Amino acid sequence: MKKQLLAAILSAAMILGLTACGGTSTQTPAADTAAASEETAQAADTGTADTEAAEDTEVSKDATAADAAYTIGISQFAEHGSLDNCREGFLAGLEEEGIVEGTNLTVLFDNAQADTGTASTISDNYVSKKVNLICAIATPSAMSAYNSTMNTDIPVIYTAVSDPAGAGLANADGSPVGNITGTSDALAVDAQLKMIREILPDAKKIGILYTTSEANSVSTIKEYKELAENYDFEIVDSGINTVADVEMAAKDLASKVDCISNLTDNTVVSALQTVIAAADEKNIPVFGSEIEQVKIGCLASMGIDYIALGKQTGEMAAKILKGESKAEEMPYEVCSGASFYVNTAVADKLNFELDQATVDGAAEVFDEITVE
């Protein structure tokens, strides 16, 4: 009788433990910049509002069964189209593998608003929640997440990191440096330079604005300079530290060059309209690094599909969550192939005539400038 009573007590305790792992989604997408800024301020003191509802929830580390429930933290460094697409694709990739938000997945989402200190606070907060996995979107968030989890068993998966090795997130051969892996959005620099030369046959100088503290930007600038001479270009670069530096730097840069080529630099991209405005004053085009930048005012781009990149990352994350693979054993992956995108409305604004063959060769053509 005592054994039966003890078994019943243990069974009840196990049921209660499993119930605590389920939970509901606490994802709170940033509706606008003001709301996001308020969340950022709260993050420094109490963790963000996104994770508040899960404060007393300790996530199970044994969530590997077919009917398991998972809690993950998604740390996004800045709010702009390409990173938003990464997040959308990431969740879609998980869903395709049977891990569905609101069913067996709880998502804690926070945006650092391009502040590295906030990115660190966010990842520290996820560690305190003992999440099953952290997804870090963009290089600064990935570096913060790796530092926060270094003495834990929480895996990190990153996306939108142009140079994982340069950021200290992978070895030179692509293998992980720890319990971290992910996907790279390395730019097709050679294809971008070739495209610019075809559109601007007489151009001599390409301006590039970048954040000096972003490892991926520094390595991409180096690649641009190494390849530019193949197309008879000179690269004129201008480094910034914060978003506040963008306007002055962009105006100065636009006065010295024939066009500007934008990177996937998160700080610069978050202020892309400021860069475009400075270029407009000099009637020179800005070339983007991906499709979203072309939609909102860049003339053209050789870029990747960030939703596809996110899906690829989500599929990798599903393997980790299900226990099929370990992050520390998975080399990072690269989203291969770049497509040509062009915006004819931008050309019209600049009184620039695009060759029809160039337009016809685009993967997608936009005939309006869409700024949200």
Would you state the pLDDT for residue 75?
Answer: 98
Would you state the pLDDT for residue 335?
Answer: 83
This prediction's pTM: 0.74
**Residue-by-residue pLDDT tens, the chain, 372 positions:** 433 433 343 343 333 333 333 333 344 333 343 333 444 334 444 444 444 444 444 444 444 445 689 999 999 999 888 899 999 999 999 999 999 999 999 999 999 998 999 999 999 999 999 999 999 999 999 999 999 999 999 999 999 999 999 999 999 999 999 999 999 998 999 999 999 999 999 999 999 999 998 888 999 999 999 999 999 999 999 999 999 999 999 999 999 999 999 998 989 999 999 999 999 999 999 999 999 999 999 999 999 889 999 999 999 999 999 999 999 999 999 987 789 999 999 999 999 999 999 999 999 999 999 986
Residue 48: C-alpha distances to residues 124, 158, 203, 233 (Å): 11, 20, 47, 46
- Per CATH, the number for 189-303+339-366 is 3.40.50.2300
Would you state the pLDDT for residue 337?
Answer: 76
Would you state the pLDDT for residue 372?
Answer: 67
CATH class given for the domain over 2-186+306-334:
alpha beta
The 8-class DSSP code of residue 176 comes to B
Alpha carbon distance 144, 41 (integer Å): 18
Would you state the pLDDT for residue 233?
Answer: 98
pLDDT, one tens digit per residue, over 230-253 is 999 999 999 999 999 999 999 999
* β-bridge partners, 365: 342
Label the pairing between strands 286-290 and 133-137.
unpaired
Two tokens at 195? 């495209």
Cβ-based neighbours of 19, under 8 Å, separated by 6 or more: none
3-state secondary structure of 156: strand
**CATH 3.40.50.2300 region(s) of the chain?**
2-186+306-334, 189-303+339-366
